[in-house]
Every structure is written in C-alpha cells, then in structure tokens.
Chains A and B, each alone.
Chain A
Amino acid sequence: MQKVKNKWRKFASEILILAAIFTLVQYLVTAGLLNQYFQINLASMCINVILAVSLSLINGFTGQLSLGHAGFMAVGAYVAAIMTNMLDLPFIIGILAACLAAGLAGFIIGVPTLRLKGDYLAIATLALGEIIRVTLQNIDYVNGPAGIMGISKLSTWPWLFGGVVLTVVVIVNLVNSSYGRAIISVREDEVAAELMGINTTKYKVLAFAIGAMFAGLAGALYAHYFYIIKPETFNFLKSFDILVMVVLGGLGSTTGAIIAAVSITALTAALQPFPAIRMILYALILIIVMIYRPQGLMGNKELSMKTFGRIWGGRN
C-alpha cells in the first residue's frame, strides 16, 4: 500500500512542478517580462530537447548510431509548413501530419538500413539524411534551395512546452516498459538478445521510427517559430549538433540528453556576442569534454528526485 501511495505522491509532485514551470513562463511571456532574445532561446531549447531526447532513444538506448536525424526534422518541418501555409489547415493537423510523415520516413529508411551495423549504419543514415535534403532542394513546389518563407508563427510556449513534455513522457515510459527492456537488450548484445527470442529487427525499427516521429515534431515546431525553412538548415552538420548533445549528455541517459541540449543551447546563445570565436570555443569544449569525460556528462545514469535526496542526505 505504502508503495502505491508513494507512486501517486511522486506523480502528483511531478505534475505540480511541470504546471509551475509552465505557468511561470507563460506569465513571463504574456506580461512581457521576457524579451525577444530570451524567448527565441527558450524556443530553441525546447526544440533541441525534443531532438536530443528522440535521438537518444535511437543512439543511446537502442545503440544504433544514426547520423541522419536532421533529415527527419526536415520532413516534419516541410510537411507541417505545407499543411498550414499552403493548404490552410489548422496547426494541430500540421503537427500530426509532420509526426506521421517523419515516422513513416523513419520506418521506410529503417527497414533496409537497420540490417547494417555500427559504422555502416552511421554512414547509411548520414547519406539518407543528405538525400532528403538534396531532394527537397530539387522540388519546385517547396521553392527548391530558397525554401518556404512566411510561415505563420504558431509555435507558442504552450505548444513548445507540450511538445517537450509529450516527447519525454512517451520516450521515458517506452524505455521503462517491456519494449524498452527489449530495446536495451539489443544495445547490450544483439546476438544474445536474438537468442533470447527477441525480434531485434522489429525493436530497432520501432525505436528508429519513434525517434524519427519526434524529430518530425521538432521540425514542425521549428518551422512555425522561425518563419522560414531551407533545405540547407537540415544538412548533416545539424545532425552532428544533435548527436553532440546526446553524446555529451551521456548515451542512454534521457536526463543527460535534456541537460546537454539545454546547456549547449545556452552556451551557443552566450557565445553569440563573439561570433568570431564562437565556433572555435564550441569545438574546443567538445574536444576537451570528450577527452576528459568520454562517457558524457551523465554516463548512463539518470538524474532524478532520488539523486537530489541522496545529495541532501535524505532517505532513498
């Protein structure tokens, strides 16, 4: 009984904390206390968290090195922009279509490529991400290399916050379910997992498609916050950016991915006044962190209420 009660208490406290964060920021935005600069960075933070958490499902938990995440983001961004901007459909339809299209793209790409292992998979996903970008460049309906302009700004704070919460809740629960255990077993030892009767291909494709789906969500939110999308935005360097967040946070740690996504976005924003040395510092930080902490900031541990309890000397 005690256990059940604790579970409910934990659930209620989590809801309360989320609601508090949401109301606080919503108040700051509506009261005009948060200037444009902070709002933009807050939005990029939310989008990056969605991207990092969704890629961490593929790279961190399933152990499949994917270098084409920006491609799925591009699919989501374009589909959503076409839905709202060209077909005048409501934003929610755009988001759903974006998720569906990106998830489908993930499935179609995942089925043949996930037979490959390690570096070969990395190369194949890198190439497929680039193919998506080059294809978009050559479609006249979406203005080719110029991209879609004048997308209405529909990604407000409730949408961004909702997107982050939905992504984290779905992926954390997936990882903690029996599906998640199967997915992690694929990462730990694919042959052993197969011998235990786990359909490894099925779980790999599942994780890949779900990861791609949330990348599509991030793309839709991105398109409707920054007015303009170009194929060039979603090149392989964008995929690297997301991968850096996941690895820096620690492979197999959702909280690590969130922390890394937030801190890298904050770092990029903080370095904005020094455009000349921004990327040099970013590169150096990347190299130094990897040399001194190759397992990432969090390793495969999670940050939770329990960790804080331990730090404050409370009971576990």
Chain B
Amino acid sequence: MLEFTQQIVNGLSLGAIYALIALGYTMVYGIIKLINFAHGDIMMVGAFVGYFSLTLLGTNIFVAMIAAMVTCAVFGVLIEKIAYRPLRNATRIAALITAIGVSLFLEYITIFLLGPSQKVFPESAFPIKAYAVGGLSILNKDVFVFVLAVALMLILQYIIKWTKTGKAMRAVSLDREAAVLMGISVDKTISITFAIGSALAAAAGVMLGIYYNTINPLMGIIPGLKAFVAAVLGGIGIIPGAMVGGFVMGLLETMVSGYGNSLYRDAVAFGVLIFILLIKPSGIFGEDTGEKV
C-alpha cells in the first residue's frame, strides 16, 4: 500500500506537466480545430530559454520560467500568424501538414543553432531535497512542479471563466461566425489562445528540465504526443478534461514503470487511448453530439 502511494506521489508531478502541455493542445483544438503538432516543440523551446536564462544570465528558477513563458507566448503568436492563419480556410489536412512542418522546423533549427547533444539542467538552480512524510519519500522538485502547475491551471481557469478575454475565447470556440457578429475580434482571440497555450507549454518545458535534469532539441516529441493523448482522453477541446487526462497519463506511466515493464509504458498509454476512442471517442468529459445531416 505504501509503495502504491509512493507511485501516486511520483506520478502526480509528471501528470501535472502533461496536463499543462495538454491544455495548450486542447485550447488550440477547441478554437481552430487544428491538432497543433508543433506544440511539443514549443515546450522544447521553452525548456531551452529557461536553461539559458539559468546558465547565461544566472537568474533564479522563477525568473527563468517567466522568461520562457514570455518568449514562447511570442513564438506561439508568430507561428500562428505566419504559418496557420493563411490556412484558416483551407482543408484541415493542409493545416495539419503545416503544423508538422513547423514542428520539424523548430526541432532542426534548434539542432542547427545549439547542436544535437543534450544539455544538463544546472543542479544549483534547484537543489534537490528529499522529505520523509509518513514513510513516503517526497522530493522537493515534485512538490514544486505540482504546486506551480496547479497554480497555473487555476489562473487559466480564472482567465477563461471570469475575464472578458476568456469569454471571447469560449465564444469563438463555440461558434466563430456568431462570435464575429457579436463584435469579437476572432484574430485577436486566436492569437491570445496561442499565447496562453504556448506560455503554459514553456512552463511545462522548464518543469520537465527540472524533472528529468536533461534537455535536448528532440525532447518535445514524446511528451508532446503523450500530452496530446491526455487531451483526447479528457475530451479534446475541453479544458478540465485536459487536466484530468494529463494526471491520468502521468499516473499510468509511473504505475506501468513501477510495477511492470518500463519498455511497455508507451504502448500502455496508446492502448488506453484506443480503448477510450473505441468506447467513447469524445473523451471522458466529452458530450456526444448527434450528427446533423
């Protein structure tokens, strides 16, 4: 039982990271119906900005995280403006291919500029301590990641539920044409969505750096894919769904690694995805909408 609780503790921080990335996926999908495959790579860019802020500028972890979030928010808006906006009225598959193109571009421009080798996140930025709580061993980095991620999610909930911008975002994702008629600037709202989603991904990138200690230009691919699975699991386009999905994925991954074969953890993640898709494709929180002819 103790070991089981320990696994849950270990899984929570990873789950929080997945949830943060999944939020960006789900927000972008909700608003422009695009699977933004470049999202994991924006997270990678965030991790590198955080790394350079820590090593070159010698800032503390909070400043590094804010720097990463601001940089990635700008990146996200630019990517949407340059690559996705011209395709807003094109077929969805054309936009999907463009997203794949952006993803490859971000990966390989980073390799070109910084080299393919992995970089070690400075230990001094976040000295690891372990606390013993009732027989459990809790690392301070896990607590830090979990608390910060939950705080960011609460801020996001506040923005979406209680601010005018959030109202506009919900309106555009519900019905774009009607939102335009109500005087909402769709372009601006989509830009803000990309900015928020990318900033969350950047925060997740820095957290992943702390969690795994190393970062590399291709680090965005697999967590990106898993976060995407998390978004689908919760119901793509639904914000609380992405949070729950992220935690489920994180816990599942640590459980499979802890009790079974860690080589199978990716297969289990995808197996769960297929299972969900077959019994309830709209996800845990999704509503089944009838098909209109």
> Interface residues, chain A, CB within 8 Å of chain B?
59, 65, 112-113, 115-116, 118-120, 122-124, 127-128, 130-131, 134-135, 137-138, 191, 236, 240, 243-244, 247-248, 251, 276-280, 282-284, 286-287, 290-291, 294-295
Contact = CB atoms under 8 A, between A and B. Distances in A.
12 contacts: A113-B274, A127-B229, A128-B274, A130-B266, A191-B291, A244-B97, A251-B91, A280-B105, A283-B103, A283-B105, A284-B105, A287-B105
Contacts of A118: 92
B215 to A, nearest CB: 19
Nearest to A116: B281
A244 B86 contact: no
Contacts of B94: 247, 290, 294-295
B86 A291 contact: yes
Contacts of A287: 83, 98, 101-102, 105
B49 to A, nearest CB: 20
Contacts of B92: 118-119
A95 B98 CA distance: 35
B108 interface: yes
A283 B104 CA distance: 6
Nearest to A279: B108
B242 interface: no
Contact of B263 (A134, A191, A247, A290): A134
For the complex of A and B, the 7 pairs showing the least CB-CB separation, nearest first, are: A286-B101, A283-B105, A294-B90, A294-B94, A279-B108, A127-B270, A283-B104
Query: Residue among A65, A138, A240, A291 with the most chain B CB within 10 A?
Result: A291
A138 B263 contact: yes
A291 B264 contact: no
B266 A116 contact: no
Main secondary structure of the interface of B (DSSP, over half): helix
Contact of A124 (B87, B104, B273): B273
A236 to B, nearest CB: 7
Contacts of A122: 35, 96
Contact of A279 (B95, B107, B225, B278): B107
Contact of A290 (B87, B109, B264): B87
B261 interface: yes
Query: Residue among A65, A138, A251, A287 with the most chain B CB within 10 A?
Result: A287
Interface string B83-125: 1001100111111111011111101110110000000000000
Contacts of A286: 97-98, 100-101, 104
A123 B87 contact: no
Contacts of B133: none
Contacts of A244: 97, 100
Given A280-B108, A284-B101, 8 more contacts: A59-B93, A120-B281, A123-B273, A124-B278, A130-B270, A283-B101, A286-B100, A290-B87
A277 B112 contact: yes
Contacts of A115: 278
B278 A291 contact: no
B66 to A, nearest CB: 29
Contacts of B132: none
B108 A283 contact: yes
Interface in B177-225: 225
A116 B293 CA distance: 17
B263 A291 contact: no
B102 A291 contact: no
B287 to A, nearest CB: 15
Contacts of A124: 273-274, 277-278
Contacts of A236: 225
Contacts of A59: 93
B58 interface: no
B241 to A, nearest CB: 14
A276 B112 contact: yes
Contacts of B281: 116, 120
Given A130-B270, A236-B225, A290-B98, A191 B107 contact: no
Given A122-B35, A128-B270, A243-B97, A134 B264 contact: yes
Query: Residue among B33, B93, B105 with the most chain A CB within 10 A?
Result: B93
B232 interface: yes
Contacts of B111: 279
Contacts of A294: 87, 90-91, 94
A116 B280 CA distance: 10
Given A122-B35, A279-B104, A291 B273 contact: no
A137 B98 contact: no
Contacts of B270: 127-128, 130-131, 134
B267 interface: yes
Nearest to B236: A119
Contact of A123 (B90, B102, B277): B277
Contacts of A119: 33, 35, 92, 236
A121 B264 CA distance: 23
Interface in B226-254: 228-229, 232, 236
Nearest to B221: A237
A131 B267 contact: yes
Contacts of A284: 101, 105
Nearest to B112: A276
B181 to A, nearest CB: 27
Query: Residue among A115, A134, A244 with the most chain B CB within 10 A?
Result: A134
A65 B105 CA distance: 23
A225 to B, nearest CB: 25
A305 B90 CA distance: 30
A127 B97 CA distance: 18
